[in-house]
Structure 1
Amino acid sequence: MTLNPGLTLREAADTDAPALAALQGEVWPQHTTTAEALLHELADLRAHPLRPHVWRLVAEEAGEVVGLASVHQFPGMFHPDRYHADLLVRPAAQGRGVGRALAAALEAHLDARPAREVLAGTQEDHPRGLAFLARHGFREAMRFFDNVLDLRAFDPAPWAEAARLPEGLRLLSLPELIAEQGEDAAWRAYHAAAVEAREDVPRTGEATPLLYGAFRTRGEHPQFLPAGVLLAVTASGEVAALTELYADAADPARLNTGLTGTRRACRRQGLALSLKLAALDLARRRGAQSIWTGNATTNVPMLTLNERLGFRPRPAWTEMKRGEV
């Protein structure tokens, strides 16, 4: 297609990471990132044993990055014919054909693969983005809430009893478990619990096995907080349940929840609630003012738990799908 005068498209380079982090912050200010985090995630994809496909195209005007089209495959939900597509355009550059040019290049790239299933999304309060995806053949597959707790308004006193783990279980952070078991054994216990807990996390496709080597790389992520990994540990050293807190890329007063879950044999004992309360206590002691967590709208147990604690939903992320594998 003919590009607007002054608009150029080119393959993204690693040196674009600062500009791409800034672009994401402009488009999705509630989900900012850093150049360091983007480069770490890109390195993880490139090094993953599944060899997921990664393609990124930037749009420039007068030498300034104003948009990004990307296609990649998530190792956690991998299928050789399933792809995830993203398209970002700076708000100030919208309405000048940047999105159309990137979308055309993205579609050509997907056609060349070819892609049998493509996932893409936007927030439910972005009607322009939803309409754009609908015009390209996408239909809603699932919604995910950002749930936010204002720690300044949270009163832990009524939760004192629920915060106690059942007899026979201890609350340990990942560094404390490493001190007891050694680094590899502790990470393997953490991994075993995460593997089982994530099996019941709602998603738009089947989960891919969580390989131990790939799991270990999360410890190198710039926002990873070892002390924020809280574990319910049995007398034999097994991890029965876990919750994770990550630092935020831009807001030091905000923490983000990763996976919270309980192994099947240990459920219905209130372990997830106890660990969430321990995480809230840790967050308060660290000086955090808010905790953000993401939940699929179909994950009723976790949504109910978070609502009880005072988390309140923000506009949902609408995951949309075209095709099927």
Structure 2
Amino acid sequence: MTTIRPATPADLAAALDIYNAVYPDHAKTLEETEHFLAGLRDNPLQPHVQDWLAEVGGRPVGTARLWQAPWMFHPDRYHLELAVLPEFRRRGIGAALFGTAQRHWQGRGAREVLAGAKETEADALPMLERQGFREVMRFFDNVLRLDGFDAAQWEAEMRLPEGVRAATFADLQTELGEEAAWLAYYACQTEARLDVPRTAPATHTPFEEFVKHRSQPRLVPENIWLAVTEGSEVVALSELWRDSSDPARLNIGLTGTRRAWRRRGLGLALKLRGMVQAQQHGIREIWTSNASNNAPMLALNDRLGFRRQPAHVECQWGGAEDRRA
């Protein structure tokens, strides 16, 4: 018999085991997930989050989460994540979890829900379509095997223009002090992220929320490369994050440049420095994700040797017309 119930904090490890079994390429640790949920609870926007667990004979076999993202927030926009263990699919468990989440968002007056699945998941996307969802964007994982990366071919692209130098975030903390370094990093990241393709406009992140990255388990200050002017202004960045489950893998976060400094090769130069550093430290793979409409970045990653994986297809139900930036 299948039962579906609201999940409790004691269920988090079981739900995470299901998620990691379904999405092994994006596996998360319990520490990372607890940090993420604490960030939602403490955020001044008070984003909603609700989890459910599906059990068969008392065994956890499926999980669903309906939540709101503070970084692209609207009070009527929600995100749905749903996972069922492969051996328990086609028994109506996914549909039951979806129906439970759907009744919940209807009760809250949701006007928009974003959900998705890999293009290779033959059942999930048609199910979303039947429920009134439509495709709005695709995101490609891109994977670079560093054993085939030849840094010597990119020496010219690693040079920065006069008046700008490369430094890691760890270097900047040593030079400026921790608080000033975080402020400089924040100023660049805040502007650069505005133009990242996404399914809804970016929400402003206050500095007080941004510096909570200090306790982010994936943060390695030595893996964040910055372009710094003679006046200690950060004008470009390329972030590499520790992978939760694979010590031989790094994941690119944001690579971006402040608007006044674009088209000078800063982002590429920093990205290359991170790749060289990773190769020297024995990292096997670097992963990144790019939206289907970000043609310049997809083309650049193709040049660098990244290989595209099957796309994650993001689908939307409804629409919060008065979206707030």
* TM-score class, shorter: over 0.9
Does the 8 Å CA contact 2:116/2:313 hold for their aligned counterparts?
yes
Map of 2:157 onto structure 1: 162
Match of 1:276 in 2: 271
The offset of 1:253, in angstroms, is: 1.1
Aligned residues: 320
Which of 22, 25, 31 is the aligned partner of 2:17? 22
Deviation track 1:73-127 (CA, whole Å, cap 9, x = no partner) reads 0001100111111111111111222112211111110110011011000011112
Question: Are 1:144 and 2:136 matched, yes or no?
Answer: no
Query: 1:49: which partner in 2?
Result: 44
Q: Is the 8 A contact 1:14 1:39 kept in 2?
A: no
Aligned-pair distance for 1:219? 2.4
Match of 1:40 among 31, 35, 40: 35
Residue of structure 2 equivalent to 1:204: 199
- Identify the range of structure 1 (297-306 vs 42-51) with the bigger mean alpha-carbon deviation: 297-306
1:245 aligns with 2:214: no
Q: 2:214 maps to what in 1?
A: 219
Which amino acid in the other structure matches residue 292 of structure 2?
Answer: T
Q: 2:87 — aligned with what? A: 92
Matches of 1:282 and 1:220, distance apart in 2? 23
| Runs of 4+ more than 3 Å apart | none
Is the partner of 1:162 in helix, strand or coil?
A: helix
Rounded Cα–Cα distance in structure 2 between residues aligned with 1:229 and 1:280: 11
1:53-74 per-position Cα deviation (integer Å, ceiling 9, x unaligned): 1111111223322111111000
- Match status 1:309 vs 2:304: yes
Give the drift of 1:17: 2.4
Q: 1-side partners of 2:67 and 2:254: how far apart?
A: 22
Residue 14 of structure 1, CA deviation: 2.0
Structure 1 position 12, deviation (Å): 1.5
SS at match of 1:224: coil
SS at match of 1:140: strand
Residue of structure 1 aligned with 2:64, choices 60, 69, 78: 69
Map of 1:290 onto structure 2: 285
For residues 11 and 126 of structure 1, the distance between their equivalents in structure 2, rounded to whole angstroms, comes to 26
| Structure 1 residues 275-316: Cα deviation after superposition (integer angstroms, max 9, x where no partner) | 011010111122111100000011112112211111111011
Structure 2 CA distance, aligned partners of 1:287 and 1:12?
39
Most deviating of 45-54 and 221-230: 221-230
Q: Secondary structure at the match of 1:122?
A: strand
Quick one: distance in 2 between partners of 1:286 and 1:63? Answer: 45
Contact 2:164–2:227 under 8 Å retained in 1: yes
Give 1:111's aligned amino acid: Q
Alignment partners' CA distance in 1, 2:30 and 2:12: 5
Aligned to 2:323: none
Q: Is the 8 A contact 2:241 2:251 kept in 1?
A: yes
With the length of structure 1 as denominator, give the TM-score of the two structures: 0.96
Deviation, 1:324, is 0.9
Deviates further, 210-219 or 74-83: 210-219
Distance 1:91 1:298 in 2: 31
Mean CA deviation greater in 296-305 or 72-81: 296-305
2:52, 2:65 within 8 Å by CA — same for their partners in 1?
Answer: yes
3-state SS in 1 of match to 2:246: coil
CA distance, structure 2, for counterparts of residue 20 and residue 292 of structure 1: 24
Contact 2:19 2:63 in 1 (8 A): no
Q: 1:219, 1:226 within 8 Å by CA — same for their partners in 2? A: no
Q: Which amino acid aligns with 1:43?
A: A
Tell me whether 62-71 or 169-178 shows the greater mean CA deviation.
62-71
Conserved 8 A contact 1:20-1:35:
no
Task: Give structure 2 stretches of 5+ with no counterpart.
Answer: 321-325
Q: Is the 8 A contact 1:69 1:106 kept in 2?
A: yes
Structure 2 letter corresponding to 1:246: W
Structure 1 segments unaligned to the other structure (5+ residues) = none
Q: Return the TM-score normalized by structure 2.
A: 0.96
